[in-house]
Amino acid sequence: MAFLKTSRYAAVPTVETAASGGRTVTAIGLRTLPPTDGDPYIVLENDRLDLIADRSYGDATRFWRIADANSELDARRLVEPGRDIDLPPTK
């Protein structure tokens, strides 16, 4: 598997595991999320993580950094209007 250098999975090792039927599949291993401090941001009507990332970092593909900085398993809940989320610092 090959990921872009900017992908959140670029440095994550792959693992091989047995699937149903006995075949072997390659999967992405678990990645550890580093603790992240961020600036507060109030979600606006019609916001999306990619739009917030584009406005904040000039790069819509950095949406996953926002998702990682917040402890919500369902990314759709991160963009509920009025919600206060953290925007990690730009790197």
Sketch out the chain's domains with CATH numbers.
1-32 (no CATH), 36-87 (3.10.350)
In 1-91, beta strands by DSSP E: 14-18, 24-28, 39-42, 84-87
* pLDDT tens across the length of the chain (91 residues): 678 887 878 888 888 888 888 899 988 887 777 677 789 999 999 999 999 999 999 999 889 889 888 877 788 899 999 999 999 987 6
Quickly list H helices, 12-84.
Answer: 49-57, 63-69, 75-78
Q: Please report the pLDDT score of residue 91 as a whole number.
A: 62
From the list 34, 33, 39, 37, the residue with the least C-alpha distance to 84 is: 39
pTM of the model: 0.67
Residue 1's pLDDT is what? Answer: 65
Q: CB under 8 Å to 68, separation ≥6 — which residues?
A: 8, 33, 36, 88
